[in-house]
Amino acid sequence: MRIFHKKDGGIVQLIDKDKMEEWSVELPLIFIEYIKDKQLDRYEDPKVKKEISAYLDEILKDVAVPRLISVLEGEEEEDKISALERIKEISKKNVEMARPIKPYLEKLSKSKNKSVVNLTKDISNNFVKADRRKELAKKRKIMQEKEKQFMAGKISGEDYAKARKDYLSLKD
């Protein structure tokens, strides 16, 4: 077990990442997601939270992603489908966790297997939606800033209209 020491003398123990080598391919991701969603906030100690987050990133980088990639690049169609189904679910909830898989999607979209293609499409759409949400948030922030500047007479009506147009076109 990997041990994390809390300031109050308590500890948190998490399974060693080496043991995950024998797990089914999607399980390390499920584990990371579970600890992040359900446990992390309960540890209270900020130092331990930070260390555990770093350990989960380590699991993602060293175990979860390489294992998924080996399946996605492999020959077993059923394994690919079950891995993609899991990635689809994860990308819906937390797209950042699925991002390391993004470079492999283009090749998979050309697969002869219809299920693989459809799942790849769904995952890609989740990335597009997430990227749009991110972009929109960024533009919204700029828009708010421009509104303030316009009201203060610091920018022209033309500049404000341009920013507004950019924002609305992305929103649509």
Partner 1 sequence: MAKKQQSKNWDLKAAKDLFNEYIEKGSEKREIPLPEDTIKIDDLNRKYTLERVYNLVDDIIERIYNTGKPSILLPSRSSTNIIWDQENDLLLLGKQIIEKQFHSLTSVADITRLMRVLEIINELLVKDIHATKREVFYTDVKLFKEQKTSDKSIEDAATMLYTTRNSTHIVAAPKGTCVGRLRIRDRNDIIDLEGLGSGGWTISPMLANIEILESDAEFILVIEKDAAMMRLAQDRFWRKYPCILLTAQGVGNVAVRMFLKRLSKELNLPVFSLVDSDPYGHYIHSVYLRGSKRLSYESPFLATPNIKLLGVLTRDLDQYKIPDVARLKLEKVDIKRIKDLLNEDFVKKNKKWETDLKLALKMNIKAEIQALSSHGFEFLTEQYLPEKLSTGDWI
Residues forming contacts to partner 1 in the complex (CB under 8 A) are 1, 3, 9-15, 19, 24, 26-27, 30-31, 34-35, 38-39, 42-43
By beta-carbon proximity to partner 1, the closer residue of 60 and 163 is 60
Largest separation between any pair of C-alpha atoms in the chain: 64
**CA-angle at 152, arms to 151 and 158, nearest 5°:** 60
Exposed/middle/buried for 19, CB within 10 Å: 0-12, 13-18, 19+? exposed
Minimum Å gap between C-beta 67 and partner 1 is: 14
Minimum Å gap between C-beta 123 and partner 1 is: 20
By beta-carbon proximity to partner 1, the closer residue of 43 and 160 is 43
Minimum Å gap between C-beta 2 and partner 1 is: 10
Q: For residue 165, which of 146, 63, 151 has the smallest C-alpha distance?
A: 146
Distance CA 120, CA 108 (A): 7
Minimum Å gap between C-beta 115 and partner 1 is: 20
Instruction: Assign 3-state DSSP to the chain and report helix, strand, coil percentages, each to 5.
Output: 80, 5, 15
By beta-carbon proximity to partner 1, the closer residue of 24 and 118 is 24
By beta-carbon proximity to partner 1, the closer residue of 31 and 167 is 31
